[in-house]
């Protein structure tokens, strides 16, 4: 059984799966061309339950692109996707979690576009709850 790092204010009201309707739905997307960008940062005193994510990249030259989750010190916590593609190709992928991934306050979703000829897009979908 997994151990969480937080406690709900009233655990008596639910048994089993944590209700998602108590939080704010988050759906964010971003596109980057030749650069880096923060897609979303989890606010203080909040926890993001990540349900879905998507990533796509296209380029006219061979390259590597990244979709990362970084901690509050901007170090890589988790590589959601790393793409190495050939010239004149595209890649598109995503993921859905059966059990949502918990992303704590201060962590962010970060896109890296490696070349001037690269277009990188990503999205996240989840529920933001109070801790």
Give per-residue pLDDT as tens, 75-125: 989 888 877 777 777 888 889 988 899 999 999 999 887 766 677 889 999
- From the centroid of its chain, how far is CA 14? 27
What is the Cα–Cα distance from 67 to 111, expressed in whole angstroms?
5
Nearest Cα neighbor of 67 from 105, 25, 28 is: 28
Given the candidates 2.60.220.30, 2.60.120.220, 1.20.1260.10, 1.10.150.20, the CATH classification of the domain at 22-130 is 2.60.120.220
Give per-residue pLDDT as tens, 39-84: 999 999 999 999 999 988 877 666 677 889 999 999 989 888 877 7
CB-based contact 50:116 (threshold 8 Å): no
User: What pTM, to 2 d.p., does this model score?
Assistant: 0.76
């Amino acid at each position: 059984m997994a151990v969480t790092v937080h406690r709900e204010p009233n655990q008596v009201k639910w048994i089993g799966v944590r209700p998602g309707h108590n939080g704010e739905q988050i759906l964010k997307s971003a596109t980057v061309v030749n650069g880096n960008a923060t897609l979303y940062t989890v606010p203080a005193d909040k926890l993001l339950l990540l349900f879905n994510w998507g990533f796509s990249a296209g380029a006219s030259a061979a390259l590597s692109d990244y979709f990362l989750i970084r901690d509050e010190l901007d170090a890589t916590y988790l590589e959601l996707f790393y793409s190495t593609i050939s010239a004149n190709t595209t890649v598109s992928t995503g993921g859905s979690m059966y059990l949502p991934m918990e992303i704590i306050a201060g962590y962010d979703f970060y896109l890296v576009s490696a070349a001037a000829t690269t277009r990188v897009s990503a999205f996240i979908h989840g529920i933001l709850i109070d801790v």
